[in-house]
Structure 1
Amino acid sequence: MAQVAVVTGAGAGVGRAAAEEFARAGYDVALLSRDPQRLERAASELRSRYGVRALPIPTDVADADAVERAADLTEAQLGSIDVWVNVAMATVFAPVSRLTAAEVRRGTEVTYLGQVHGMMAALRRMRERNRGTIVNVGSALAYRSVPLQAIYCGAKAAIRGFTDSLRSEIIHDGLDVHLTTVDLPAVNTPQFDWALNKMGRRSKPVPPIYEPEVPARAILFAATHRRREVWLGFPTVKAIVANRIAPGLIDRYLARYGYDSQMSQQALPADAPSNLFEPVPGPYGAHGRFDAEAKNGDWEIFTDRHRDAAFAGLAIAAGLYGLHRLAKRLGV
């Protein structure tokens, strides 16, 4: 009998690519997201391409009861959940001075509490069977925050804290439940077309940009290998290591370059969509509008085992070199 994976945020972006990666590997997949039509299209494609069972469950992960109902429905129709992947997120491109309390609350509820709700729903069922894997999708921005995305960076950092607490509790209880995190670099997803944006210019990921299939493969790897954490892409390693070495220098660099690096020269349309409070309808998929710039064939993953051995020296050397270049640009 096929294993069962639940993927949140599965209607588009990394979640959509991850759902397909699990289906390709033979998993039956429950797809959680807010837009029913897009979710049904995604599930239909997985059924026809891979012959698996794909169950679309319209769900707002900010609603803990809705996540619980989705978990119940998954087990009733597909069977016991083997893997739960928390991907759903929301962000706002704006300085803190222009955010509202409602926007902060909503972004935090989706990005942080959405993963908390997923962890709790999955653990409740996996604890009974003493097996299963929970994969949280994090970000390099959980370690090194950037301007204009305080909501997202704060939520991703909070996920790290909650995950580490839960991991110790799982070890204390002697459970054979694996908890892991995959930290991502910039990815070519629709978020740059539908995230709430108050900057007047269309947002963009900071290169190098990865196609969503790259993190999808890393997520499947994390689900099937006993790793505490996976850093995806050398840019993630450089950001994390550099911030550990000289955070003050990075603060100054981002103060100077962090705004323009996230904004294109294209004016933001007056009717630009925003998915913060309501889903944006339309035929969005895994990819955003940056296919010409994104790379798909270079799969760089750095696990905790790698970091403790060969990659540690390489990461530090790269961090020092990067800091040297930053210092020269800042004139310090």
Structure 2
Amino acid sequence: MVRAPWGPQAGKGRTVVVTGASGGVGRAAARAFAARGDRVALLARGREGLAAAADDVQRAGGEALVVSVDMADAQAVEDAAQKVADAFGRIDVWVNNAFAGVFAPFTDITPDEFRRVTEVTYLGYVFGTRAALRHMLPRNRGTIVQVGSALAYRGVPLQSAYCGAKHAIQGFNESLRCELLHSGSRVRTTMVQLPAVNTPQFEWVLNRMPGRARPVAPVYQPEVAARAIVHAAGHGRRREYWVGGSTAATLVANAVAPAFLDRYLARSGFDAQQEASAAGGNGGPGNLWSPADGPHGHDFGAHGRFDGEAMDGDPQEWVSRNRGRVGAGLLAAAGVGAAVTAGLRRRGHG
């Protein structure tokens, strides 16, 4: 446990739980919450990554609590949530983000591997949500953020277990959201659909392909995702946020022409997700059965190896966070246009 000077009942900031906080998007989100002055509970398996994430949180101005937990273990997740509540007094925001993956054709993934990906990436969200609700519902407040992906709507080749889990999270979250609305609860749940992000994920997946795993361009920095997650945590009434123009384009195209995308991804999806010059798989330790930093003593951080191409922002990011302003602006523009048109017509008739 790593703690900063002030106590659990202090009024500064919220209490935020981030799962998968040792690296990638979770690590960037933890820093972003800390920069607001929030108390951040860091849940993951990796010891080196968790210790470094706690240092990040404290340097950013937050208070850190480290809890080592396997999100596939329901009781362990419940115990972790209780530790957070005992230390900080409450849980205001819970961010589900932990994942595991196998990068291979479906027929090359063993039943145990597929089950493990599902247990971490899908059931980990279910167990995390259940633990969060146990603490939020009695207080009748709180926000649960499910970190999703464009792959929650659009499956791609070589990631059948991961895509299946993300689709499952989507359905689970929609069902839960309806139940909370039905009961009149002030507890909110929302989902943030991400694009390809420059994280260590592509070093961690178990890779059975000849090339090194990589995200499909365009690639965004994890701080882009972190900003969206922090915004969603404060605006939980919104059911969903799309991050990145590529996410918006993918989801719209899949809604309009899914069969076309099937054929397109069948042709391009294998090569687009591999670096042809890097033979022999990813060469990394993988995180399917144990934390990637476990025996290696290495902190992977938030960024992957794609800093040279990753983007720091995107117009869609701003549009997603400011949908109300955009809608009001469009209505205002339409009103001005209608007034101008009416004026021209009157002059024409004068």
TM-score by length of 2: 0.85
* Matches of 2:261 and 2:282, distance apart in 1: 33
Match of 2:222 in 1: 212
Quick one: which of 42, 57, 69 aligns to 2:53? 42
Pair 1:91-2:107 in alignment? no
* Matches of 1:24 and 1:7, distance apart in 2: 14
Pair 1:249-2:260 in alignment? yes
Quick one: which of 59, 74, 81 aligns to 1:71? 81
Report the CA distance shift for 1:55/1:299 in structure 2 as closer, same or farther (over 3 A): farther
* Matches of 2:81 and 2:175, distance apart in 1: 23
Contact 2:44 2:50 in 1 (8 A): yes
Contact 2:77 2:128 in 1 (8 A): yes
Contact 2:213 2:282 in 1 (8 A): no
Report the CA distance shift for 1:39/1:166 in structure 2 as closer, same or farther (over 3 A): same
Show CA shifts across 1:151-186 (max 9, x none).
010000000110011001101111101110000000
Pair 1:279-2:295 in alignment? no
Shift of 1:84: 0.2
Q: Structure 2: any 5+ residue segments left out of the alignment?
A: 1-11, 331-350
Quick one: which of 19, 23, 28 aligns to 1:12? 23
Contact 2:154 2:254 in 1 (8 A): yes
* Matches of 2:113 and 2:61, distance apart in 1: 40
Q: Which amino acid aligns with 1:292?
A: G
Deviation beyond 4 Å, 4+ runs, structure 1: 303-306, 308-312
Report the CA distance shift for 1:310/1:139 in structure 2 as closer, same or farther (over 3 A): farther
* Matches of 1:126 and 1:99, distance apart in 2: 38
Question: How many pairs align?
Answer: 311
Shift of 1:194: 1.7
Report the CA distance shift for 1:158/1:303 in structure 2 as closer, same or farther (over 3 A): farther
Shift of 1:139: 0.5
Residue identity over aligned pairs, in percent, reads 55
Show CA shifts across 1:29-57 (max 9, x none).
0000001222012102321x133210010
Quick one: which of 99, 121, 139 aligns to 2:149? 139
Q: Which amino acid aligns with 2:284?
A: A
Show CA shifts across 1:239-296 (max 9, x none).
1110111111111111111100000011135853211111111120000000000011
* Matches of 1:270 and 1:55, distance apart in 2: 32
Match of 1:125 in 2: 135
Match of 1:197 in 2: 207
Report the CA distance shift for 1:278/1:298 in structure 2 as closer, same or farther (over 3 A): same
Match of 1:295 in 2: 311
Q: Report the structure number with the largest CA radius of gyration.
A: 2
Report the CA distance shift for 1:176/1:56 in structure 2 as closer, same or farther (over 3 A): same
TM-score by length of 1: 0.90
Contact 1:230 1:304 in 2 (8 A): no
Report the CA distance shift for 1:206/1:269 in structure 2 as closer, same or farther (over 3 A): closer
1:151-230 paired onto structure 2 within 5 Å: 151-225=161-235, 226-230=237-241
Report the CA distance shift for 1:269/1:247 in structure 2 as closer, same or farther (over 3 A): closer
Contact 2:203 2:282 in 1 (8 A): no
SS of the aligned residue for 1:157 comes to helix
Shift of 1:228: 1.1
Match of 2:336 in 1: none
* Matches of 1:311 and 1:200, distance apart in 2: 50
Q: Which amino acid aligns with 1:25?
A: R
Quick one: which of 107, 110, 118 aligns to 1:100? 110
Report the CA distance shift for 1:209/1:79 in structure 2 as closer, same or farther (over 3 A): same
Pair 1:232-2:250 in alignment? no
